[in-house]
Structure 1
Amino acid sequence: MTPTPPLSSPQSSPRTPRPSLSRIRIGSAPDSWGVWFPDDPRQVPWERFLDEVARAGYAWIELGPYGYLPTDPARLTEETARRGLRVSAGTVFTSLHHGPAVWDRTWAHVADNAALAQAMGAEHLVVIPSFWRDDRTGAVLEDRVLTPGQWRDLTALTERLGREVRDRYGLRIVVHPHADTHLDSEENVARFLDATDPDVVALCLDTGHYAYCGGDSVKLIETYGERIGYLHLKQVDPEVLARVVADEVPFGPAVAQGVMCEPPAGVPALEPVLAAAQALGVELFAIVEQDMYPCPPDKPYPIAERTRRFLRSCGA
């Protein structure tokens, strides 16, 4: 079923500072600098990303695709520390709905990321399901609807992953619903949460991806608050979203068309999302991500600086 664009309208910039969001820790990620791959000539060098993310006013970062930043913990610690940066999480892609046959390959990938995240003092590992269609070419890789057996494999192996990552590396996995994956809509996210153990599986709510797939972030936080372990802050342009949904544009080309936009121009409004997250009464990372691969090298920094200023005006 094709996702329905959210009906809410873009927010306006706040005129007065909001109450402090004392439990929300703001950061950014290589994604906001157009980084999707470990090595790509269209991406900014990692040194420039670190310089600019610190200059834009962020204290926390994610590792991004494994191999983009230095993977030697000593070197990465030196590079981040001298810029006043700390690491909140690593990120992995998995295809656990394919069952036990993919476990060993998955774990090898996860272990490298988790070990680096642990060495950098992070507490989380963001887990993103694999795409059902290629995010660059749009080629259909598999059926977009999981079978009951695939759902069982997805939930059971995600629980196993959560336990293994916790027991071996002391990290909490936070599973990231994402456009063009099997974990996308309100229905699928609810089904996943209802079928997994809250002690070992939490959610990374990406506000942009959830809106892209028709979801309401505030409603999700209010309904499944105890499962929200991490936030990605992102907005979609509702006009571009309506067009890409109607034309069934794959996610990668949709990003190139500007479906993800600079706050506060898009949806969902971030102030109510942050207020709902603050009301949970727990410490949460809220990492800014504005998908814009590929992009000119001089584009990310001004957006990152304006976004940080906007979030401060929201109290974060």
Structure 2
Amino acid sequence: MTSSVPSPARIRIGSAPDSWGVWFPDDPRQVPWDRFLDEVSEAGYEWIELGPYGYLPTDAARLKDETARRGLTVSAGTVFTGLHHGPDVWDRTWEHVAGIAALTRAMGAEHLVVIPSFWRDDKTGEVLEDRTLTATQWRELTTQTERLGHEVRERYGLRIVVHPHADTHVDTEENVNRFLDATDPELVSLCLDTGHYAYCGGDSVKLIETYAERIGYLHLKQVDPEILADVVANEVPFGPAVARGVMCEPPGGVPALEPVLEAARALHRDLFAIVEQDMYPCPPDKPLPIARRTREFLRACGPARSST
């Protein structure tokens, strides 16, 4: 007789250029891409994201060689979109997405992380547009995101996972719920970033339990509650907040990651959980020791022990 007990879920732990202070394709304050690959492998990770397109080599054959000889595999690519602006931005958006999606697929990954555009600049803090969407903009955001999910799936075989993010329009519990309720689960899943969601006042475990079928990918991150309180009180933009250290090394911040991983494991499906400790800018020798300690901490978390 066949058992009806679901097979244990695998939580695949990885890291990303973000944890090495990389926010842009080219920036003199960032570590060179080959150093990132060397150190992320040395820290004990086997999975990585592509990071900002153009930071890692964009030639698939070269990137496959560079990652394979370090024992690394790509889990996802990342794109930035402003789909609430409607069909007028579709062609420009698709031009941006297509190259990244092609490289992501060529590297054997199955996910494309989609980050909504910022209402204020993440580097300068300049206010770019109203922080609240109109009803029309919400409709455009959801319908155009569904269109993106369909096109990416049909053309590249990838699943989009939308990433709620500070200083974007998909940020708080209210806005994340509204976005999920208005989009098709067959086309749009969620990349739950525990740090960004806590930054915006959300409860990651509650979100996983409430929208279990929509959780398609995880970013593991914590915020320093004391720094966050000051950031919120003084309306500090995200970039300067990161420079203050608002995103901190686990397990020193919130949310606690053990319950998040436990809730994710209870979904009974395989998930990537990619460490992303925002650090921009940061000294070049700072990331590796943090990455090592974080990997060991996650090994000690019960749900992460079965990761591959």
Task: Compute the TM-score of the two structures, normalised by the length of structure 2.
Answer: 0.96
Q: Report the more deviating stretch, 130-139 or 89-98.
A: 130-139
- Paired with 1:136 and 1:50, the residues of 2 have a C-alpha distance of 25
Q: How does 1:150-299 map to 2 (within 5 A)?
A: 150-299=137-286
Matches of 2:258 and 2:251, distance apart in 1: 10
CA distance in 1, matches of 2:24, 2:120: 17
Q: What is the CA–CA distance in structure 2 between the aligned matches of 1:271 and 1:22, rounded to whole Å? A: 15
Q: Structure 1 residue 23: deviation in Å? A: 1.4
1:34 alignment counterpart: 21
Opposite residue 281 of structure 1, the aligned amino acid is H
Superposed displacement of residue 138, structure 1: 1.1
Matched, 1:77 2:77: no
Give the match's secondary structure for 1:273.
helix
- SS of corresponding position for 2:78: strand
Q: Which residue of 2 aligns with 1:126?
A: 113
Structure 2 residues not aligned, in runs of 5+: 1-7
**1:314 aligns to 2:308 (yes or no):** no
Counterpart CA distance in 1 for 2:77 and 2:16 is: 10
Give the deviation of 1:294 after TM superposition: 0.2
- The residue number in structure 2 matching 1:300 is 287
Taking the aligned partners of 1:184 and 1:222, their CA distance within structure 2 comes to: 18
Q: Deviations over 1:49-102 (max 9, x none)?
A: 000000000000000000000000000000000000000000000000001000
Distance 1:64 1:98 in 2: 24
Equivalent residue in structure 1 for 2:39, among 52, 59, 65: 52
Give the conservation status (yes or no) of the 8 Å contact 2:11–2:270: yes
- 2-structure distance, mates of 1:185, 1:38: 28
- Per-residue displacement from partner, 1:95-118 (whole Å, max 9, x unpaired)? 000010000000000001000000
Segments of structure 1 that go 5 or more residues without pairing to the other structure are 1-20
How well do the aligned residues superpose, as a CA RMSD in angstroms? 0.6
Query: Quick check: 2:9–2:268 contact (8 Å CA) kept in 1?
Result: no
CA distance in 1, matches of 2:235, 2:19: 24
1:109 alignment counterpart: 96
Contact preservation (8 Å) 2:19, 2:287: yes
Structure 2 residue identity aligned to 1:98: H
Q: CA deviation at 1:280?
A: 0.2
Distance 2:173 2:52 in 1: 27
Separation of aligned partners in 2, 1:251 and 1:67: 23
Name the amino acid aligned to 1:56. A
Secondary structure, aligned partner of 1:200: coil
**Higher RCO, 1 or 2 (CA under 8 Å, sep at least 6)?**
1
User: What SS does structure 2 have at the residue aligned with 1:111?
Assistant: helix
Cα distance in 2 for partners of 1:139, 1:117 equals 31
Q: Deviations over 1:163-218 (max 9, x none)?
A: 00000000000000000000000000000000000000000000000000000000
| Cα distance, 1:22 vs structure 2 | 4.8
1:252-284 alpha-carbon deviations (Å, 9 max, x no partner):
000000000000000000000000000001100
Query: What is aligned with 2:127?
Result: 140
Q: TM-score, normalised by structure 1?
A: 0.93
Aligned pair count? Answer: 296
4+ aligned runs moved over 2 Å, structure 1: none
User: What are the within-5 Å matches in structure 2 for residues 15-34 of structure 1?
Assistant: 22-34=9-21
Superposed CA deviations along residues 225-249 of structure 1, whole A, max 9, x for unmatched, are 1000000000000000000000000
Q: 1:39: Cα distance to partner?
A: 0.3
